[in-house]
Amino acid sequence: MGRFDRSDTTASQKTDMKQRSRCRECLDPIDPGMCFAAYPRYAYDKSSGDCVEFIFGGCKANRNNFSSMDDCRATCVPEK
């Protein structure tokens, strides 16, 4: 039998874990929060498959809440 290469498996496992984490993060609902500020933020919209702008109230954010469209897309929109 050949040797088991732990470095390849570990890198692969880390990539899989990161992708699964992204999926959970991006699938949280778009939530404006409970406060009354008006911050422009960005979230992944699973129905459109892209990130959208929304108004965030400033507190009680979930994970699907990004400060820029670029950050949202880099995290949630698969590369084509």
Strand partners, 56: 39
| Cα distances (Å, whole numbers) of residue 62 to 14, 50, 51 | 23, 18, 15
Q: Which of 66, 57, 67, 63 is nearest to 34 (CA)?
A: 57
Round the CA-based radius of gyration of the chain to a whole number and report it: 17
Percentage of residues of the chain with pLDDT beyond 90: 66
What is the assigned CATH class of domain 29-80?
few secondary structures
Distances (CA, A) of 19 to 4, 12, 46, 60: 24, 11, 16, 24
Per the prediction, the chain carries an average pLDDT of 83
Q: 20-50, pLDDT tens digit by residue?
A: 455 789 999 999 999 999 999 999 999 999 9
pLDDT at 11 over 70: no
